[in-house]
Amino acid sequence: MGSASFRRSVRAAVLALAFGLAASGHAAEMFKLEPVYQDQKLLGPGAAKGAIIWNHGRSVSTEDSLSPSPYYMSLLQEGGWDAYRFNRLREGDTLQDSSRALVRQVRELKERGYQKVVLAGQSFGAFISLMAADQSDDIYAVVGTAPAAYGSFSEFYDSFRRNATNFYPLLDKVQKARVMLFFFHGDDFDPGGRGERSREILKARKIDHMVVDQPPFLTGHWAASTGLFVRRYGECIKNFLDAAKIEGDQDCSGSWGMTPSKQIALPSGYQPAAVKGSATVDNGFIGTWYGFYGNGREVLLGVEKVKGDEVTAVYALGPGLSQDQKAEWVRRSGRMSEDEIVFKERGRNTLRYRMRDDGRLDATWISADGKVSMDTTLRRID
């Protein structure tokens, strides 16, 4: 080979290597696997039950790689799974590229010694998780919540039905992973009917599965990100992953939120006003009322005394999901109108309760500064 040709060959090789390194570096920036909880030590392949990779959604306007991981990932890590999340920059986040990159991450975790690798995902993340399970038999299970990749009814009507028509072929090609799916009422990305059709496909394929379709109390595309979701379904997800065999498509909602747990704190000797007797007028509000907020905290209102339009009640909360949210109770004084009680005291959160036609209470909590509020419905339990 002549010197000129040799120099051209060397230059081409150097450029190719440089381009390959640049492309590799760009890919590393686009896709990144990291522990969900940076301040907690992972068990490692030898001690963990396996690794679970959380896959976030995809927004057209913001970086979902910055979004928080769902609460149930903490429950799974506490249960012996090493929890990771696969961050993807919006610029290169496509179904094809992201699912292939995800498969590579699964392979690397397997090579590091994890016996089981689980993929969990919300919306777009659920889609790429199933696509990865179509491409690889290294995936032990997929947990998909509100799967969607083609926009909402209101903004992308022409394509949003593909969230169903393109979803079913994914289920029909899953290699061997067990599959758990959640579909929520009021999800603007859901064309409807996907729960039953998903069951049919997975059952025909003899894939171990569980499909939770339109569960009560949980609504909207982001229902799986709430504290209420982990309260009602966190243990179910953990059991689905831990079980040696899934016996049919079972109901797994549990009983949380149906009756007050032992974690609710009440004052010693608490009794609702109706029990105390004749000094109190029963106007329909007297008694003990129970429910829960979307953040996963139980709430109890015990009306102790009504005199004219003055009301005294115990307001109690169960523990929250973080360690600093302890069970607590406080006694409040408020005013009553014909169909509403309002507890509004200087420097304290405002509580509003309105009687419904069905005998329950619409309840609203408003922060002391008025910037945050929560709504729920309470039912009488005494």
Query: What CATH number does the domain containing 144 carry?
Result: 3.40.50.1820
C-alpha distance from residue 190 to each of 129, 143, 175 (Å) = 18, 17, 25
Residue 101 lies in a domain: yes
Are 277 and 156 found together in one domain?
no
Residues 132 and 26 occupy one common structural domain: yes
Choose the most confident range, by mean pLDDT, from 74-83, 84-93, 317-326: 74-83
- 114 in the same domain as 206: yes
265 located within any domain: no
Residue 225 phi, psi (nearest 5)? -90, 0
How many domains is the chain built from? 2
CA distance readout (Å), 48 to 2, 42, 70: 59, 8, 20
Give yes or no: residues 209 and 298 share one domain. no
**Per-residue pLDDT tens over the stretch 217-265:** 999 999 999 999 999 999 999 999 999 988 877 778 778 999 999 999 8
Does one domain contain both 63 and 121?
yes
267 lies in some domain = no
Domain stops at, among 199, 222, 242: 242
The verdict on residue 261 lying in a domain is no
**Which candidate, 181, 198, 191, places its Cα nearest to that of 156?**
191
DSSP assignment, residue 172? T
pLDDT exceeds cutoff 90 at 62: no
The pTM score is 0.86
| φ/ψ of residue 253, rounded to 5 | -70, -25
> Over the chain, what is the mean pLDDT?
88
Q: Is the pLDDT of residue 13 over 80?
A: no
Same domain, 135 and 209: yes
Give pLDDT, residue 17. Answer: 42
Q: Are residues 330 and 183 in the same domain?
A: no
Of the pLDDT bands very low, low, confident and very high (cuts 50, 70, 90), residue 14 is very low
Which position has the higher pLDDT, 26 or 198? 198
- State the CATH number of the domain containing residue 277: 2.40.128.120
Sign of CA dihedral 322, 146, 201, 216: positive
Report if residue 167 sits inside a domain: yes
Same structural domain, 283 and 232: no
Q: Give the structural domain span for 112.
A: 3-242
Distance CA 344, CA 337 (A): 14
Phi-psi category of 359—alpha, beta or left, where left has phi over 0 and alpha has psi -120 to 50? left
Q: What is the pLDDT of residues 205-225, one digit of tens each?
A: 999 999 999 999 999 999 999
Note whether residue 213 is domain-resident.
yes
**Residue 27 pLDDT:** 57
- Does the residue 374 lie in any domain? yes
Burial of 311 (0-12, 13-18, 19+ CB in 10 A): buried
Q: What are phi and psi of 34, to 5 degrees?
A: -150, 160
Mean pLDDT of 42-62: 93
**DSSP string spanning 227-294?**
HHHHHHHHHHHHHHHH-SS--SS-----SBTTB--TT----TT---HHHH-TTS---S--EEEEEE-T
In a domain, 127, yes or no: yes
